A and B are shown apart, each in its own frame.
Chain A
Amino acid sequence: MTSSKTIVLRSSDGATFEVDEAVALHSLMIKHRIETGGADSTTIDVPEVTGNTLSKVIEYCKKHVEAPNSDDLKSFDTDFVKVDQAVLCHLAKASYYMNIKGLLDLSSKTIADMFKGKTVEQIRETFHIKNDFTPEEEEELRKENSWNLFV
């Protein structure tokens, strides 16, 4: 009988989470750390991710590792990203740092869908991007895109 090894993940704000090694390995970053780290590495720091987000990431990994063929996986994913924009952005960043492709695809696609309906000003607000165009440059760009209605 194989013993299930556990790993402790520590977030940026010091929160710790004990998870099965198999679940932790769903993150290729953690997999790499374990493989290259010493034999004693049972606690792994994830300074790029806060406790709240890490907890959600672990929830995703658990589901995908423990029940990858379940019928409700698709609906799990759909519900998983029904969160507010801030959480969604944190998930995207975390999945990028932790190299979890499935979660990155899922969150990126959801954020991309959010982009589609928004105006330029709304995009700036949502994603905290500063407008560094002069009014003349903005007018020029507006003219360039005025045909966009047709296609």
Chain B
Amino acid sequence: MSDVPFPAGVLEDILSRLPVKSLLQCRSVSKSLRALIDSPYFVNLHMQKSMETNKILYFSGDARFPVTLRNPSGVTLETPFELTDYPLVLGSCHGLVCLSNGPDERSILLWNPSTRKYKLIPRSIYEPLDDLDIITFDQLGYDHVTDDYKVVRLSHFTSESMVFRVVVYSLKLDTWQSVEQDFPSTFFPVNCYGQGVFVNGAVHWLVNQIPFPDKGNLIYAFDLATQSFHTVPQPKYPNNITATDLGILEGRLCVICIHEVYNADIWVMGEYGVKESWSKLAALTMRDMTTWPYPTVRPLIYTKKGRDVLLEVDGQWLIDYDLQEKRTIEMWKGDTSLLSMFVYQETLVPLVRNELVA
């Protein structure tokens, strides 16, 4: 073996292909290797490489079994924090997952499942500590201008008028800040699964336009970098819509349109902001499944090299849908009544300041 060491460029190239688990081990090899792996430059290089491989984890539980975290093979994994009854994923971005884990919905944390580091997010100064009459919509996103991870929160005090405030938590500053631009007082976010979607630098919600319920819902978005709002055009829906919801599939915005109660159409926006780029990805009928009042369908990831798409229904079923044949290939039911899947990327992205390790 030659004594000539690897040029830095080659070593970086090799290391950037390794899974996080191996890289964490390589940190123990030498000080220079640790410095390289911990460097923001390398974290970013590795993240770019791992963007093609999304991973899935899920929460499983019900009255019989306490909630556990599991991998796709069904193996239970330890979490560095204790899991409460209904952990809710509030966004997954660059390997960081935002989770609400009790004791109330506004107790949220940021977690990197690959490095196993997590950080509790401080309470927002804009909300009284013990007021339970608050409705909140939280979603994690990334601000590319300030290189910061942020949680955008819409909050509404039920005792007040129907106004949603917008506050943003910054990981870098470890504080909540109020946003100058108001959320329109006639807009009311519809309860989408996971409370919003982060795509293309903005957090998106479906909003109902009270007092014009017949106008239908809008897709309304908050751009993290510009701190301003914009609307996104929707595809042309069929008649007899029962409900619509937002989703995300490998970085692209989706809408799930439930019509005539049992039918779900999934649309994907090929090019952000371009109305003509909406295309129908899948159409399913779920007449055989008991759902009330209508099914909640969520696209998760492509599988089989883009041939199929994995869908979650009502937090209980998984469907493997063939995109070419346009039909359901397989269906599984979770073994507990909760099956909350989330997609994340394996990265070394750190949780700066007040980082906790199990």
Residue of A nearest to B33 (CB): A129
Contacts of B307 in A (CB 8 A): none
20 examples of A-B residue contacts, CB within 8 angstroms: A89-B2, A92-B6, A92-B14, A93-B7, A96-B7, A96-B9, A112-B14, A112-B18, A120-B26, A120-B28, A123-B26, A128-B3, A131-B30, A141-B28, A144-B357, A145-B24, A148-B25, A150-B78, A151-B113, A151-B116
Query: For the side of the interface on A, what is the size category?
Result: 35 or more
B145 within 8 A of A: no
A109-B17 contact given A89-B1, A92-B10, A127-B6, CB 8 Å threshold: yes
Distance to closest chain A CB from B53 (angstroms): 14
The answer to whether B24 and A148 touch across the interface, beta carbons within 8 angstroms, is: yes
Query: Does B5 sit within 8 A of A, measured CB to CB?
Result: yes
A-B contact count (CB 8 A): 89
The answer to the question of A124 belonging to the interface, with a C-beta cut-off of 8 Å to chain B, is yes
Q: Which of B30, B77, B80 contacts A129 (CB 8 A)?
A: B30
- Residue A32 at the B interface, CB < 8 A? no
Q: Does B63 contact A (CB under 8 A)?
A: no
A82 close to B (CB within 8 Å): no
A37 to B330, CA, bound (A): 61
A142 CB within 8 Å of chain B? yes
Check A147–B28 contact: CB distance below 8 A: no
Closest chain-A Cβ to B28's Cβ sits at a distance in Å of 4
In the bound complex, how far is the Cα of B6 from the Cα of A147, in angstroms?
30
Of the residues A86, A90, A104, A133, contact of B30 by C-beta under 8 Å: A133
**B interface SS class:** loop
A residues apposed to B, CB below 8 Å? 85-86, 89-90, 92-93, 96-97, 104, 108-109, 111-112, 115-116, 120, 123-124, 126-133, 138, 141-142, 144-145, 147-148, 150-151
Residues of B with C-beta under 8 A to A86 = 1-2
Which residues of chain B come closer than 8 Å to A97, judged between CB atoms?
7
Beta-carbon contact of A120 and B357 below 8 Å: no
Q: Which residues of A contact B114 (CB under 8 A)?
A: 151
Interface residues of B (CB under 8 A from A): 1-7, 9-10, 13-15, 17-19, 21-22, 24-33, 77-78, 80, 113-114, 116, 357-358
Q: Which residues of A contact B26 (CB under 8 A)?
A: 115, 120, 123
Q: Which residues of A contact B80 (CB under 8 A)?
A: 147
- In the A-B complex, the 6 residue pairs with the closest CB atoms: A112-B17, A141-B28, A86-B1, A96-B10, A108-B13, A108-B14
Say whether B28 contacts A132, CB under 8 Å: no
**Separation of A89 and B357 alpha carbons in the complex (Å):** 36
Q: Is the CB of B21 within 8 A of A151?
A: yes
Say yes or no: A90 contacts B2, CB within 8 Å: yes
- Beyond A93-B7, A147-B80, A151-B21, list 11 extra A-B contacts (CB 8 Å): A89-B6, A92-B6, A104-B10, A108-B14, A115-B18, A115-B26, A120-B29, A128-B5, A141-B28, A142-B28, A144-B24
A132–B30 CA distance with the chains assembled, in angstroms: 6
Choose among B10, B15, B25 the residue that contacts A93 (Cβ–Cβ < 8 A). B10
- CB neighbours (8 Å) of A129 from chain B are 29-30, 33
- Nearest chain A CB to B124's CB is how many angstroms away? 31
A147 touches B116 (CB 8 A): yes
Report the minimal beta-carbon distance from A96 to chain B, rounded to whole angstroms: 5
Q: Is the CB of A147 within 8 A of B78?
A: yes
